[in-house]
Structure 1
Amino acid sequence: MTYTGTDAVRRYDNALDCLLLFREDVTAEVRAVLADCPRSVLGNVFQAYLGLLGTEETDAAEARTAFAGFRRGVDPAEVTPRERLHVEAAASWLDGDVHRAGRLLGEITTVWPQDALALAVGHQIDFFTGNAVLLRDRIGGVLSAWDEADPHYGFLLGMYAFGLEEAGHYGQSEQVGLAAVERNARDVWGIHAVVHAYEMQGRFADGIRYLDERSGDWAEGNYLNVHNWWHYALYLLEAGRTDRVLEVYDAAVHHEGSAGVAMELLDAASLLWRLRLAGADTGGRWAALADAWAARRDGAYYVFNDVHAVMAYVGADRIADAERLLLDRQAWSGRTGPEVSNVAMTTEVGLPVGRAIVAYGQGKYDDVVDLLLPLRYRLHAFGGSHAQRDAVQRTLVEAAVHAGRHDVARTLLSERISLRPVCPYNWQAQARLADRLGDTAGAAAGRLRAAEQMSAARVR
């Protein structure tokens, strides 16, 4: 570790532990590395990654300035090959090329498979770019090079479990995730992977029980707690407990004391949007959430965030604000070169999805279908998980039903039910379609199946 003394290496190790645990102490530990050794190559790289991992435009801008200053004072000839690749990866991401950064981190872990920083950051890049195969194989490709007794091996299992789930290996994901959490009870990413596996298997009661039993390990004191509360609320929604969903929203997802960071606000928007699709009354929550998004004054940085801001504006009936945001992103993408990953993510997926959300709010359901139907197999390209992107998939289903596009709705619901037969939402939507078609028996059967599954999802 070039330009890094013994004490700074110890603080770097502490920072790495905090990163793997999603602990807020990670920032203080990295600052301690740089206070002791300001020129530490991996210390400065680590600080740059922290400025990027939150998907916050202002944090990234600050990190870009600091990292440029660091690079001016470093002789590349004195830096090791591994560190040089890290510097290049961080610089690429800071310049907007997140895909190149991910490839460079992959080069590191091919030669140095035990570089936990490269693995953890690369894994998050795969998440931000919606790359399910790399979420699985970036981690799977290094497992054989690790000693299972290594204290970080369990965190690797937690990452691998999430990759397995996103790639469709739900049973294996569950088992690997449970093993990860047995090694490190506070591995909130491993807990998160298990929660995803239960979600995709329709095991909502199991998910609630699992989170309840481990609430002391995940519910506070880490960067992922709001997101895991969001998952808890999704289970409750499938159980038909809208009242409890709103309680969780108010207590943990978004309230007056919320930090207002993008990754938490998008969970809030996604949850309220699902409630809107379900016809639930959310009171005045949309207005407060739209205000929180507006207060950020975000520029173009990560379109996955932008789409959720659009949801909030549409939910609050602030259509003009939603349209203004989309016009700004369209203009930005026309001025910005293709080396910035967010350009393609915006133009190919983000803008059509945002326009579809606006059209849904205006009751232009045919337009929603026309915008989303061509994208349904490419939505992953603008980031997030299957569970997160399902809000958009449900919007397409609801629009097809409302628009009278019955063949499209039947096809979409057949796909969903065949893949996830245990999902009350799917059967409720099937019943609504049957109503439209005058199929009384089919509607009754769908509602009965939904009621049985909601009852099974409730923890007794």
Structure 2
Amino acid sequence: MRRTASDRQGHTMSLTGTEAASHYDDALRELLFFRGEVATASQAVLAAAPRSPMGNALAAYLGLLGTEEKDATAAKEAFTGFAAGVRDEDLTPRERQHLAAAGSWLDGDIHRAGQLLGELTVAFPRDALALAVGHQIDFLTGDAARLRDRVGGALTAWPEDDPLYGNILGMYAFGLEESGHYTRSEEAGLAAVERDPRDVWGIHAVVHTYEMQGRFAQGIRFLDARTDDWASGNYLNVHNWWHYCLYALEAGDTGRPLEIYDAVLHHEESQGLAMELLDASALLWRLLLTGREAGARWTRLADAWAARQDPPYYAFNDVHAVMAYVGAGRTADAERLVADREAWLGRARPRLPNHAMTAAIGLPVCRALIAYGQGRYGQAVDLLAPIRYRLNTFGGSHAQRDAIQKTLLEAAIRAGRDDTARTLLSERIGLRPVCPYNWLAQARLADRLGESAKAAAARARAAEQAAAGAAALSG
């Protein structure tokens, strides 16, 4: 007998009884709150209904979302075994589309998976799994417009009394922020957090909005007021702590970020997950760019990246591994990674998205980081300047990619590329006039050019802005 059930949004689930459907709903909720319990709930779905199409699609997506190659390999093996026994007549059209999307991503075609999930969302706008996974794909591929519109196009189909509505609103807030709609993003993000204070993705969206507007003092206060809701017990806590560190750096405080680094971002008990190592590299690199020391942290972080022995899987991760190697003075390790990826490009299928990400963005950025670490600043500029408007195509957020933009600026200043540095600073100050880093960089450039009055004015502006953030940290 063919068993069917429905999820809480009323979608039919073939070969899935009511017990498994209940576990599936629990898993979706844990997924949207970024809690580790999603794995247990997902396993419970398959324990109750091993042939559940939606249960198997969910398990496949979970193996992919962390950008861990070993997890993706295990997920593909399990999914292939399941798919071999699937009959088309046992599936609904929605389930067929999910299985096609999961299969495409497992085969390395993340863009095709995102497209299939987008088509699915048009037909089934209240499919929370399609929205959540598609949203993360848009983030991993740096597609700001789809990050916004995938969720925005479905939002009015969701009744506001649906228990998941706040989470969907939080996703929309992040898409709005990455697209530059900061006022609307803040409104949507705060509304999501008001509905459920534990919505860490909604909190994350608001944090990004404040970051992009230079409202770092307000960001510190926002996070401090909600520490119990975001700072532990979820997969996003390390990343939100990283955002806290960025606020503190703007306030001129390097001690607090390093304390947070040691307690949360990377320490002896860290599991070496790519997403967490990425944040650790991104923080230490920002310290390096401003001449601040991180001590033995670089060595330990480089060791953690090396222990992973990552194959070519996600270019964004490769770049952050190279940051760690360069920061630790292990240029040979960085060059070996670059050489490995170059060799892979010669034998990999060109249609794979990571092939294009690596060739067009990943390798030039890696080479630029190595050049910067060796003091070849002009070469770093030459590598980064042509791709600076295309950095989004290898994933991440504006805030994350700003480490690369800052590398370009710092290299231009140090290489004496004064016209390039002036142009970059004019762009940055125009977009973020409240940013002590921008004004301090302006002061250094003015010093180079002998413009002492301009340098003094820029430093005074930086000090005034940093003081507001310092007051928030001490308050």
TM-score by length of 1: 0.99
Counterpart in the other structure of 1:404? 416
How many pairs are equivalent? 460
Whole-Å separation in 1 of the counterparts to 2:233 and 2:88: 38
Listed as ranges, the matches of 1:58-73 within 5 Å are 58-73=70-85
Listed as ranges, the matches of 1:253-264 within 5 Å are 253-264=265-276
* Structure 1: gaps spanning 5 or more residues: none
Whole-Å separation in 2 of the counterparts to 1:79 and 1:335: 37
Choose which of 25, 35, 38 in structure 1 pairs with 2:47. Answer: 35
Counterpart in the other structure of 1:271? 283
Whole-Å separation in 2 of the counterparts to 1:49 and 1:207: 32
Listed as ranges, the matches of 1:184-195 within 5 Å are 184-195=196-207
Q: Post-superposition shift, 1:77?
A: 2.0
Choose which of 53, 59, 75 in structure 2 pairs with 1:47. Answer: 59
Alignment of 1:83 with 2:99, yes or no, is: no
Listed as ranges, the matches of 1:257-406 within 5 Å are 257-406=269-418
SS at match of 2:14: coil
SS at match of 2:46: helix
Question: Does the Cα contact within 8 Å between 1:424 and 1:449 map onto a contact in 2?
Answer: yes
Q: Post-superposition shift, 1:76?
A: 1.4
Choose which of 117, 122, 133 in structure 2 pairs with 1:105. Answer: 117
* Structure 2: gaps spanning 5 or more residues: 1-12
Question: Does the Cα contact within 8 Å between 1:253 and 1:267 map onto a contact in 2?
Answer: yes
What does the per-residue CA deviation read over 1:335-369, in whole Å, with 9 as the maximum and x for residues that have no partner?
A: 11123110000000000000000000000001000
Counterpart in the other structure of 1:127? 139
Counterpart in the other structure of 1:177? 189
Q: Post-superposition shift, 1:78?
A: 1.4
What does the per-residue CA deviation read over 1:391-448, in whole Å, with 9 as the maximum and x for residues that have no partner?
A: 0000000000000000000000000000110111100110110111111111111111
TM-score by length of 2: 0.96
Whole-Å separation in 2 of the counterparts to 1:97 and 1:50: 16
The one-letter code of the counterpart of 1:13 is: D
Choose which of 416, 428, 431 in structure 2 pairs with 1:416. Answer: 428
Counterpart in the other structure of 2:27? 15
Question: Does the Cα contact within 8 Å between 1:178 and 1:190 map onto a contact in 2?
Answer: yes
437-446 or 409-418: which moved more? 437-446
Counterpart in the other structure of 1:237? 249
The one-letter code of the counterpart of 1:353 is: V
Q: Post-superposition shift, 1:137?
A: 0.4
Whole-Å separation in 1 of the counterparts to 2:46 and 2:90: 18
SS at match of 1:141: helix
Q: Percent identity among equivalent residues?
A: 68
Q: Post-superposition shift, 1:38?
A: 0.5
Q: Post-superposition shift, 1:111?
A: 0.4
Whole-Å separation in 2 of the counterparts to 1:248 and 1:15: 30
Q: Post-superposition shift, 1:201?
A: 1.1
Question: Does the Cα contact within 8 Å between 1:356 and 1:372 map onto a contact in 2?
Answer: yes
Counterpart in the other structure of 2:5? none
Whole-Å separation in 2 of the counterparts to 1:387 and 1:118: 25
Whole-Å separation in 1 of the counterparts to 2:294 and 2:166: 40
Counterpart in the other structure of 2:128? 116
Q: Post-superposition shift, 1:281?
A: 1.3
SS at match of 1:395: helix
Q: Post-superposition shift, 1:45?
A: 0.3
The one-letter code of the counterpart of 2:242 is: W
Whole-Å separation in 1 of the counterparts to 2:346 and 2:432: 39
Listed as ranges, the matches of 1:135-150 within 5 Å are 135-150=147-162
What does the per-residue CA deviation read over 1:119-173, in whole Å, with 9 as the maximum and x for residues that have no partner?
A: 0000000000000001100000011111111111100110000000000011111
Counterpart in the other structure of 1:159? 171
Q: CA RMSD in A?
A: 0.6
Question: Does the Cα contact within 8 Å between 1:227 and 1:267 map onto a contact in 2?
Answer: yes
